Structure 1
Amino acid sequence: MANKMLRFVDLEKSMPDKREADSRRQDFDEIYEDYMPAAAAEQAARCSQCGVPYCQVHCPLHNNIPDWLKLTAEGRVQEAYELSQQTNNFPEICGRICPQDRLCEGNCVIEKAGHGTVTIGSIEKYITDTAWEEGWVKPVRPLAEKPQSVGIIGAGPAGLAAAEELRRQGYKVEVYDRYDRIGGLMVYGIPSFKLEKDVVARRAKLIADAGVIYHTDCAVGETLAFEELREKHDAILVATGVYKARDMKAPGIGLDNIVPALDYLIASNRKGLGDAVQAFDDGSLNAAGKRVVVIGGGDTAMDCVRTAVRQGAEAVSCLYRRDRANMPGSQREVANAEDEGIDFQWLSAPEAFLGESEVSAVRALKVRLGAADATGRQTPQLVEGSQFTIKADLVIKALGFDPEDLPKMFDVPELQVTKWGTLKADFRTFETSLEGVFAAGDILRGASLVVWAVRDGRDAAEQIQKFLERKASRREVVAA
């Protein structure tokens, strides 16, 4: 048991053991081993317990990171878990997939001082995995049942976080999702080498054990009318995420074997879950033996290139129009991809796709970074005469995601959207243009991180509770 903190002065940063690249290229298992208890305690003891915890400030959930690091260092792991789960409905998931290098760890005081960050994400994963093993994780039990009900559209992180928080308050909660499994993109969008699917299923079952009812294979607007849900429930939360793939214009973009990233990842994840996937089995969404080119530089692009390697691709290249320092995704994920043999073509952009009926190559141009735009990022500028060609049998477009047309999909034209297609809502109450209809997660803020979806879900649940309490009060006044 550690008896003091601030051990960064005599103890170096040490991540859990990572499997060798040659080994992990062969399967979809998670790449990091588990911390042993002594190692987790030692690494937690490196925390400086600073007066202004920037790790906590830069965590979207404002997790009580210094406190549960101290408890872990002292061997009080159950107390550390109890504290960590107070602010996070999915600590073991965030510990695995959050880009800590951009959030908590990237803003750690001792990291800024040159000592190497505290390994916050890995310790968070250790705490919660230990809690599951020891049986400390229990479903929420409300103190009293309430008569009102909430319908939640979308079983991703925002919807599930809101469901658990509302159930904690005693509301009846039903979740509706278009897919056949609960978890949204945590199941179908994120590869198992980052997040094994039994981790998500275990958490989804816990929420069901708390009394939340799931309706799968339920596409609102198709198999179930949106207005029917409004009549059934006292409040609605829309947490559908954003699934519409961004496209690009270029000669040859319509050739066969040029596919959206999400189609490719869903096929791979379904296959890993044991489903029959025709598009995978016939080879169209399977990278085995192919020369693969992925276009994009975010975490989804990294998921695609690393998936292609594991499927046995002959070669995998990634085209990104900015340099490595300006990658929008996690630098840790980029480093893992480099270890696994991905060929990164920095400062490159596709000009055309070549082939007869199927793509056979990508013609690209080199790029230089010009003046910064309104966001502060340097604007990519094509370099004339710098064309080069990469052979390709499969091209994957990982260009980001936009919202689907929900007013049309739900057949509710009065549901207002922003100019970006996200749902328009009061930023304080999360309520949309329709009374009693709220929004949370990516459908509200645009494509973002799981941890931000959890934050939105929790905040929306709090506002829904206030709305339902006001609604109940009005009924009592009328009844009196």
Structure 2
Amino acid sequence: MAVQKMLKFVTVDRDMPEKRPPNLRKEDFQEIYGEFAKAKAEEQSGRCSQCGVPYCQSHCPLHNNIPDWLRLTAENRLQEAYEISQATNTFPEICGRICPQDRLCEGNCVIEQSGHGTVTIGAVEKYITDTAFDEGWVQPIRPAQERAESVAIIGAGPGGLAAADRLRRAGLQVTVYDRYDRGGGLMTYGIPGFKLEKDIVMKRMAQLEDGGVEFVMNCNVGEDISFDAIRGKHDAVLIATGVYKSRDLQAPGSGASGIVRAIDYLTASNRIGFGDEVPEYDSGELNASGKKVVVIGGGDTAMDCVRTAIRQGAESVKCLYRRDKANMPGSQREVANAEEEGVEFVWLSAPKGFTGDMIEGVMVQKMRLGAPDVSGRQMPELIEGSDYVEDADLVIKALGFEPEDLPALWGVEGLEVTRWGTVKAEFTTGKTSLPGVYAAGDIVRGASLVVWAIRDGRDSADAILEYLATTTSVAAE
């Protein structure tokens, strides 16, 4: 009689991979969670209730076949589990590490709603693909047939790379243009190693290069090559630049030395991890060592900054956010990790200004939550007479990102943008106002999650394949 492998959520408790103690993990930039052992991965996968209507799957932007690969893992059919996982997700080992599962798949797990604790979906997803790499199940990209059509992708972030993978597997000639010296976008230079170790990203980059994707690095479109030149060289173009323009803070003293942008701070730290020379880090400008650090913002980028500052040896790290903990946009799991590591959160607080030519302090005004706005979130209101000064040697602005003005930057006429500055593109296909030009990821939807960029990149790749099939058949006639 076959042993029942699933539906064990009543008898088996939820369990995560072992998390390194805060006093040890804050000394380095290695990932904080260990790996599941084979038996533990099978045990935790077996807690899945195999729902008839799996909310975990419907709430995943990629609609990953989560119940299927959980069942296969529980049955020790791990290679099949990997193949099912890879079928819908270009980078499952990355999503398993950095997706906010508490807001997506795990947050909508049916057994979580019944009080038994969610299945640890992200940890199992990570385990499956890490094992696949170790066992050699991750196959090189080898198209069955080469095609003559050529596609340019501007941006080597998750959206651009997901599209490159899909287009190259279809046999198209793919060239990726990127402004940085390494691919991966924010996965490489924005997200710290303790959430996503960089060899994970570089492994996928190597797979794409080995599969025939051409990368043109250190290439600024509009400076090193024009957008029109790219269009002239290729049959279709995908814009996947992401959004890199930092939102600014207009307040008295905001020009003081020692107030830096989150993207600059995180990029410097990640470059140090690669062994690069970073003068701004060595000089202390982008280094928190021995300093009183104040981070302004409440999203995932702010969490990355506070946890990086702890690891750099800051004297103290405080995070100012204008709403309370329940209303912050960042992952609650990340907040908990930051608190364990010694970060102090100053809720219902907003910067009013800054003191000193070389930053000495942040003028803080206290807030309370008032009536909800159109989105339903309570609006912060100023409490008169509650101002005070928070000492600071380094202030990091993590206020979110906005799109650059691509039509002006690239000198492109006819590329329509929205009133927010994002590229105006057709839903699901990414088709823009210019023939043969598509757009995907944050440059269309605004600053969002890696998993959404992967979804958009895959969708746009499919639309490009359909477009090229149509134009090729018309040309043949």
In structure 2, what is the Cα distance between the partners aligned to 1:108 and 1:264?
Answer: 36
Identity %: 66
In structure 1, what is the Cα distance between the partners aligned to 2:336 and 2:223?
Answer: 43
Alignment of 1:14-53 (within 5 A): 14-53=15-54
CA shift, 1:30, in A, is: 0.5
CA shift, 1:444, in A, is: 0.6
In structure 1, what is the Cα distance between the partners aligned to 2:429 and 2:475?
Answer: 21
In structure 1, what is the Cα distance between the partners aligned to 2:426 and 2:389?
Answer: 48
Q: Do the aligned residues in 1 keep the contact of 2:428 with 2:456 (CA within 8 Å)? A: no
In structure 1, what is the Cα distance between the partners aligned to 2:78 and 2:335?
Answer: 32
Alignment of 1:276-291 (within 5 A): 276-291=277-292
CA shift, 1:113, in A, is: 1.0
CA shift, 1:261, in A, is: 0.4
Unaligned ranges ≥5, structure 2 = none
Residue 307 of structure 2: aligned partner? 306
CA shift, 1:2, in A, is: 6.6
Q: Does 1:66 align with 2:63?
A: no
Residue 127 of structure 2: aligned partner? 126
Q: TM-score, normalised by structure 2?
A: 0.99
Report Cα offsets for 1:291-346 as digits up to 9, x if no partner: 00000000000000000000000000000011111110111001000000100001
CA shift, 1:427, in A, is: 1.7
Alignment of 1:160-175 (within 5 A): 160-175=161-176
Residue 275 of structure 2: aligned partner? 274
Report Cα offsets for 1:43-76 as digits up to 9, x if no partner: 0000011111000000000000000000000111
In structure 2, what is the Cα distance between the partners aligned to 1:393 and 1:263?
Answer: 17
In structure 1, what is the Cα distance between the partners aligned to 2:114 and 2:353?
Answer: 46
Q: 1:2 to 1:417 in 2, by over 3 A?
A: farther
One-letter identity of the residue aligned with 2:391: K
- Structure 1 consecutive aligned stretches of length 4 or more whose deviation exceeds 4 Å: none
Q: Do the aligned residues in 1 keep the contact of 2:242 with 2:443 (CA within 8 Å)? A: yes
Report Cα offsets for 1:399-454 as digits up to 9, x if no partner: 00000111111111321111000001122431111111100000010000000000
CA shift, 1:368, in A, is: 0.8
In structure 1, what is the Cα distance between the partners aligned to 2:135 and 2:79?
Answer: 9
| SS across alignment from 1:86 | helix
Q: Paired residues, what number?
A: 476
Residue 235 of structure 2: aligned partner? 234
In structure 2, what is the Cα distance between the partners aligned to 1:30 and 1:440?
Answer: 29
In structure 2, what is the Cα distance between the partners aligned to 1:94 and 1:455?
Answer: 12
Q: Do the aligned residues in 1 keep the contact of 2:428 with 2:460 (CA within 8 Å)? A: no
Residue 374 of structure 1: aligned partner? 374
Q: Do the aligned residues in 1 keep the contact of 2:407 with 2:413 (CA within 8 Å)? A: yes
Report Cα offsets for 1:342-362 as digits up to 9, x if no partner: 00001111111111x111011
Residue 455 of structure 1: aligned partner? 455
Q: Does 1:190 align with 2:191?
A: yes
In structure 2, what is the Cα distance between the partners aligned to 1:367 and 1:23?
Answer: 35
| SS across alignment from 1:230 | helix
Moved more, 220-229 or 448-457: 220-229
Report Cα offsets for 1:134-157 as digits up to 9, x if no partner: 000012222211110100000000
Q: TM-score, normalised by structure 1?
A: 0.98
| SS across alignment from 2:313 | coil
| SS across alignment from 1:269 | helix
| SS across alignment from 1:293 | strand
One-letter identity of the residue aligned with 2:343: I
In structure 1, what is the Cα distance between the partners aligned to 2:209 and 2:140?
Answer: 8
Report Cα offsets for 1:69-110 as digits up to 9, x if no partner: 000001111110010000000000000000000000000001
One-letter identity of the residue aligned with 1:58: H
Q: Do the aligned residues in 1 keep the contact of 2:99 with 2:450 (CA within 8 Å)? A: yes
How much is the aligned-residue C-alpha RMSD, in angstroms? 0.9
Residue 392 of structure 2: aligned partner? 392
Q: Do the aligned residues in 1 keep the contact of 2:17 with 2:34 (CA within 8 Å)? A: yes
In structure 1, what is the Cα distance between the partners aligned to 2:370 and 2:53?
Answer: 37
Residue 475 of structure 1: aligned partner? 475
Residue 441 of structure 1: aligned partner? 441
Q: Do the aligned residues in 2 keep the contact of 1:16 with 1:34 (CA within 8 Å)? A: yes
Residue 101 of structure 1: aligned partner? 102
In structure 2, what is the Cα distance between the partners aligned to 1:383 and 1:263?
Answer: 33
Q: Do the aligned residues in 1 keep the contact of 2:428 with 2:459 (CA within 8 Å)? A: no
Residue 409 of structure 2: aligned partner? 409
In structure 2, what is the Cα distance between the partners aligned to 1:303 and 1:206?
Answer: 27
One-letter identity of the residue aligned with 2:417: V
Alignment of 1:152-231 (within 5 A): 152-231=153-232
In structure 1, what is the Cα distance between the partners aligned to 2:131 and 2:194?
Answer: 20
Unaligned ranges ≥5, structure 1 = none
In structure 2, what is the Cα distance between the partners aligned to 1:7 and 1:387?
Answer: 54
One-letter identity of the residue aligned with 2:111: I
CA shift, 1:172, in A, is: 0.6
CA shift, 1:3, in A, is: 3.2
In structure 2, what is the Cα distance between the partners aligned to 1:95 and 1:375?
Answer: 29
Residue 334 of structure 2: aligned partner? 333
In structure 2, what is the Cα distance between the partners aligned to 1:210 and 1:86?
Answer: 17
